[in-house]
Amino acid sequence: MKFIENGSVTTPAGFTASGYHCGIRKSQKKKDISLIFCEKRCAAAAVYTRNLVKGAPLTVTKNNISDGYAQAVICNSGNANTCNADGVEKAEITCNVLAEKLGIDKNDIIIGSTGVIGQPINIDAILSGINPLISTLSKDGSGAAEGIMTTDTVKKSFAVEFEIDGKKAYIGGIAKGSGMINPHMATMLCFVTTDVSITPALLHEALVYAVNRSLNMVNIDGDTSTNDMMSVMASGLAGNKTITEKNADYELFRDALFALSVKIAKAIAKDGEGATKLIIAAVRNCKSEECAEILADSVVSSSLVKAAMFGADANWGRVLCALGYAGEDIDVSKINVSFISPAGKTDVCKNGAGIPFSEDIAKEILSCDEITIDIDMQSGDAHAEAYGCDLTYDYVKINGDYRT
């Protein structure tokens, strides 16, 4: 298994993509609508936000792919199409027009939106972008990753290559996410493609497995968006024997999807609004995987831990504090904590108590842009990671006038 340089949703066989500026966003320099298309009908699956306030596109997508199949994805940025009386109607109009122009069934379309909540979406702008999107579909398709960005500072586009049933296969994905991130389902918006042949039911199971252990472990600011969705389409063009049961081929595909999801999760966390550092909370030797996940999420979600990482302050007491209020029955007297980065490693807590360490060395370690908080529970063999970022002044600046 290896990651492909400049990989994307167009890396798997059968897929093309494009991005365009249709006028939803004020800046004409920024693409604000994206299209992903497959030459054949695909097995499809998706997971959605747990927020009870849901964007209209999620409702339409869920209905469209209830049969387990799709052939195209369309997504706009700049407007969430959420809390609008005519939101579902406009999302359905978009699907109808796109389907007619692509020559596919209107129910074979995944639709997403991201941006400001509660503002009417400009359907005329969206419809004006459909012809340009179709005419510029290509295997390059790099504009699709740009068209779904909001406050993101970098495009998030990846692909992984692996061999299955003696055939070379790929999984590719693009994502957006920088703020309002505490998913508990997937990520803000993530669209994945693969050329593996697999049934819709097993595709969904693999997606849930990967999401729960990667993208569900991301926390930027504790807010769960209204429009979170991760979808995957499988063209089957790799030529492998269709995966119809949970055999070795299924596990290989599932693990490749998980690897891609972790890559995306880390990219989202590192690009958190105003962030300067990627923070990984790694809990190991825990009594169960569920417990490890809860503890890791509690640490990476702590505003005090995040602020300490911004200031390169080895305030390990905040880590123990976050572990203590996570709601799990743990033995605090067994916990060891270390801080790790490319600059080195420093142990700061052993068996639940502080130990001598160099503040200067610790500051050097915590000044790097990727930091792992290593937490050894000494209580079992389960482990989990959660991904987040530091809390900076710029986060407040960005969100203080986001709407205006």
C-beta separation of 278 from 368 below 8 A: no
Is residue 61 among the annotated active site residues?
no
Q: What is the DSSP letter of 357?
A: -
C-beta separation of 170 from 11 below 8 A: yes
CA distance 337 to 325: 17
Cα angle 13, 210, 178 (rounded to 5 degrees) comes to 90
Query: Residue with structure tokens 């937490």?
Result: 375
Q: Phi and psi for 390 in degrees, rounded to 5?
A: -80, 160
List, as one string, the DSSP characters of 207-275: HHHHHHTTGGGEESSSPPPSS-EEEEEE--TT-PPPB-SSSHHHHHHHHHHHHHHHHHHHHHHHT-TT-
CA distance 123 to 128: 8
Beta bridge partners of 17: 36, 138
CA distance 206 to 376: 29
Marked catalytic residue, from 11, 150, 187, 346: 187
Q: Which residues of 288-302 are buried (b: 16+ CB within 10 A; e: fewer)?
A: ebebbbbbbbbbbbb
Query: Residue with structure tokens 């079992």?
Result: 380
Catalytic sites, residue numbers: 187
